[in-house]
Amino acid sequence: MATNEETPKPAGEAKPAGDAAPAADNNNNNSNNNRGGDNRGGGNNNRGGGRGQRREFVREVPTDKDGNELVEKVVFINRCAKVVKGGRRFSFSALVVSGNSKGSVGFGFGKANEVSECIQKASGAASKNLNKVSLHEGTIPHEIYAEFGGGKVLLKPASPGTGIIAGGGMRAVCEAVGIKDVLAKSMGSNNHANVVKATLKALSELRNRDEVLTLRGKKKEKAI
């Protein structure tokens, strides 16, 4: 005779699908978190950090035709403003003196919308216009006076240990050319370009003892 009693369920029988769904969802969520949060997230952070790092601009050291390293001195930077309909547009110009500290020196002038770019242009122009100067034991061979425009300069030789007694553009030129001891005075205009050009003109007119004897047609004296 059939009975309505329910048969007991085995101990190892699985739970209904409705009860097992939350556990499966939790497992899926954990796997997704592990996949996306730990691995991929860390990779993105590493990549992003690499892209966000500041790149350093490495500039090659300028040299002359003989391979000597050039010393660059920025004498003056001027800012110019142009008034337009939308406001003001600024541009910059730079005056740079370059030399190899061994008797060669030149100057350059550059213009650009950025300071670094105009300095780069000026230094490039200076390195291409190097002129040889006659020096004598770390100073100049004799006293010299020169003018360029409104710039008037006077340079005198000095004994060892005196140093460079000069200022502004004159000091930059003397340091770049390799002079150790000199007495200099600017007696004219304070315009940086004219002072630098007058100083370069004075240095170009220097003559040492051997050059003067050669010009006079005399033999060079031998050192005793």
pLDDT for the residue 89: 94
CA dihedral 196, 109, 128, 132 (to 10 degrees): 0
Q: Position of tokens 């006077």?
A: 154
List pLDDT tens digits, range 158-214: 999 999 999 889 999 999 999 999 999 999 999 999 999 999 999 999 988 888 888
Q: Domains of the chain: which residue ranges?
A: 71-212
List pLDDT tens digits, range 104-149: 999 999 999 999 999 999 999 998 889 999 998 899 999 999 999 9
Spatial separation of the C-alpha atoms in residues 23 and 4, rounded to whole Å: 34
Tokens of 8: 């007991």
In the sheet with 131-132, reading across from the earlier edge strand, the strands are 71-84, 87-99, 104-112, 131-132
**Coil, helix or strand for 17?**
helix
pTM recorded for the entire structure: 0.67
Q: How far is CA 120 from CA 14, 80, 94, 158, 175, in A?
A: 79, 18, 9, 34, 20
CB 60 within 8 A of CB 53: no
Query: 190: buried, middle or exposed (CB in 10 Å: 19+, 13-18, 0-12)?
Result: exposed
DSSP-assigned beta bridge partners for residue 151: 148
Amino acid identity for residue 216 in this structure: R
The DSSP letter of residue 217 is T
223 vs 152: which has the higher pLDDT? 152
Percent of the chain residues past pLDDT 70, beyond the cut: 70
DSSP-assigned beta bridge partners for residue 80: 91
The DSSP letter of residue 69 is B
Topology given in CATH for the domain delimited by 71-212? Ribosomal Protein S5; domain 2 (3.30.230)
Q: Position of tokens 């990549």?
A: 47
